[in-house]
Amino acid sequence: MKILSILTIACLVTACGNSSSSQLSAKDKKEMIVKGCMRSAGVDVNKPNDNVSPEQLAEIEKCLSTFGYKF
């Protein structure tokens, strides 16, 4: 399921079959990637003050690294 989420996000960010995605700003793309990685780790993105476990944080960092973000 996590792999599917990552592939879906990557497809959206690279305008895979959807011309409207290419109109997204860099900030919008980054936000979409971050939220997708958070969801794939099981974090509720609608609760900004929600606690995140170290395991979830590691999963988010791993996901983000697949998109070239370094920590």
Amino acid at 27: K
Q: How far apart are CA 57 and CA 71, in angstroms?
A: 12
- Rounded to two decimals, the pTM is 0.65
Radius of gyration (C-alpha) of the chain in whole angstroms: 12
pLDDT tens digits for 5-20? 666 666 655 555 555 5
Residue in the block written with tokens 């959807």: 18
Digit-coded pLDDT (tens) for 8-62: 666 655 555 555 555 788 899 999 999 999 999 999 999 878 899 999 999 999 9
